[in-house]
Structure 1
Amino acid sequence: MTEPLILVAQAQAVTTLTLNRPAAMNSFTTAMHEQLLAALNQAAKDKAVRCVVITGQGRGFCAGQDLGDPMAEPGKDLGALISACYKPLVQRIRSMPVPVIAAVNGVAAGAGANLALCCDLVIAARSANFIQAFSKIGLVPDTGGTWLLPRLVGHARALGIAMLGEKVSATDAAQMGMIWQSVDDEALAGVVGALADRLGKMPTKALVATRNALAQAQDMDLDGALALEAQLQTRLGSAHDYLEGVEAFRNKRPATFTDR
């Protein structure tokens, strides 16, 4: 049997999706796109899942697009590849009904780097690097990179990182706010596991609303953001998790959140 290109593991409320082309540094093929999107859709539908982790098998997280894939061969319409594969993937990750963690275990280059940055929280091994490799082959950042980078690190740094295509170490990425945290390589699995378990016990619906509100507010003035906050608090304030959280706080006990 052919080994799956995406390994799926379930531990309590956490689903871990592992990119599984280690010999090719987990670079994307059309088939891998199909399997990853299907796995994300399944996790989104499963009410028992409250957090998703995306990581890579072997020594790399994801080296981006496999240039040997038929859809990426010279002469092919790369825009069609973006529309068919990368756009749905980014939209799926950004619309997941649960928090998504990227556990970057090694190099994340090109689309692989921006795949990680699409996730809610990025934890990277100290040895990992992020590379916007597009300029090296005459392209612009894709997989949401043009939208993500300036929002994460500001215009000046985003432009330098994108144009020069130099390695950004995990340590530097954390210091400039590109990712959430850089940890020792041997600690990565434990740190990510603990974080995923923590998120799985938190009020999922409120966490996802927080993600969406922060993204939307970037394109609003203050009055618009205040109106959005009021709208969300109206909705969340009548949900189970708010009532449970207040009751738990008053009774000095741990809350049991169930909304999703």
Structure 2
Amino acid sequence: MYEHLKITTEGGVCTVTLNRPEVYNALNDTITYELQKALKDIGKDDAVRVVVLTGAGKAFCSGQDLKEASIDENKSFMQSLNKRYNPIIRLMKGMPKPIICKLNGVAAGAGCSLALACDIIVAAEEAVLTEVFVNIGLVLDSGSSYFLPRLVGSTKAFELSTMGSRTNGKEAYELGIVNKVVSGSDLDGAVKAYADYYANAPTKAIGLMKKMLNKSGNASLDDMLEYEAYCQEIAGNTHDYKEGVSAFMEKRKPKFSGN
């Protein structure tokens, strides 16, 4: 079905693997359009309650495939971003399900942006995040200028982006970029722990909280108080809310269905 993606779903966990290991999962036209389609389909699939995004081989994603880009010297950067990259980021942030980044190796340029667009990042110690745009005379894109300063502050974001600094897993954890850092051999288990939790969590409530937190960065307190009330009305009418209350009253662990 896909040329450059591997997608498997088991127990409510959908794993999307960027699959161009021979070029460190660099992004060409085909894989970006495939990723857009996959994210749209996953967003509509009620059987999926959490997404894991990772890369095949040694890398997570090395960013734009520069060899392919150099073939068309007349290609518009703005057009490429608006058609290929920006829809991916919007789909990721708009998906009403958590997305976990399994950061198994280097995430560079737009690949770094893909990682930052995830809701949870679990990194191997040897993984590297780097905003390499400056090394070829370009600027941040695919959402990095939005995500990075919100994670590390404006001055650190300026340093990381204008110097193209390489940040390993441990450093990224200390900066607050990633949620957890583990040895490479422990990465699968650490990601599974998060995925298993979200696969059994109240999915609609998680999705609403994702929307709320995304909105809060550019909203006033009054805006958020109103939006909280709106979202709570929706959450309070779900099956999972009723199950959560019943489980509390019966002193048992709730069995959330995601509805």
**TM-score, normalised by the number of residues in structure 1:** 0.95
TM superposition shift of 1:71: 7.8
Residues 66, 72 of structure 1: 8 Å contact kept: no
1:82 aligns with 2:81: yes
Q: Distance in 1 between matches of 2:217 and 2:36?
A: 27
TM superposition shift of 1:70: 4.5
1:11 is matched with 10
Residues 115, 121 of structure 2: 8 Å contact kept: yes
Q: Distance in 1 between matches of 2:209 and 2:85?
A: 24
Change (3 A) 1:110 1:69: same
TM superposition shift of 1:191: 1.0
Aligned-partner residue type, residue 45 of structure 2: D
User: Which stretches of structure 1, 4 residues or longer, exceed 3 Å deviation after superposition?
Assistant: 70-75
Ranges in structure 2 where 5+ consecutive residues have no aligned partner: none
Q: Secondary structure at the match of 1:69?
A: helix
TM superposition shift of 1:120: 0.7
1:27 is matched with 26
TM superposition shift of 1:45: 1.8
TM superposition shift of 1:74: 3.5
Instruction: Please list, as runs of the form range in 1=range in 2, the aligned pairs for 1:68-217 lying within 5 A after superposition.
Output: 68-70=67-69, 73-217=72-216
Aligned-partner residue type, residue 137 of structure 1: I
Q: Distance in 2 between matches of 1:123 and 1:4?
A: 26
Ranges in structure 1 where 5+ consecutive residues have no aligned partner: none
The one-character-per-residue Cα deviations of 1:155-183 (angstroms, maximum 9, x if unpaired) are 11111111111101111111111111111
TM superposition shift of 1:187: 0.5
TM superposition shift of 1:58: 0.4
Q: Secondary structure at the match of 1:62?
A: coil
2:244 is matched with 245
TM superposition shift of 1:30: 0.5
Q: Distance in 2 between matches of 1:10 and 1:112?
A: 23
Residues 8, 14 of structure 2: 8 Å contact kept: yes
TM superposition shift of 1:210: 1.0
Residues 60, 111 of structure 2: 8 Å contact kept: yes
Q: Secondary structure at the match of 2:25?
A: coil
TM superposition shift of 1:113: 0.6
TM superposition shift of 1:194: 2.0
TM superposition shift of 1:3: 7.9
TM superposition shift of 1:24: 0.3
Number of equivalent positions: 259
**TM-score, normalised by the number of residues in structure 2:** 0.95
Aligned-partner residue type, residue 118 of structure 1: A
Kindly report the root-mean-square deviation, in angstroms, between the aligned alpha carbons of the 2 structures. Answer: 1.6
Residues 30, 71 of structure 1: 8 Å contact kept: no
What percentage of residue pairs aligned between the two structures are identical?
37
Residues 51, 98 of structure 2: 8 Å contact kept: yes
Q: Distance in 2 between matches of 1:127 and 1:32?
A: 25
Q: Distance in 2 between matches of 1:235 and 1:3?
A: 36
1:55 is matched with 54
Q: Distance in 2 between matches of 1:39 and 1:66?
A: 20
Change (3 A) 1:72 1:170: farther
Q: Secondary structure at the match of 1:60?
A: coil
TM superposition shift of 1:75: 3.6
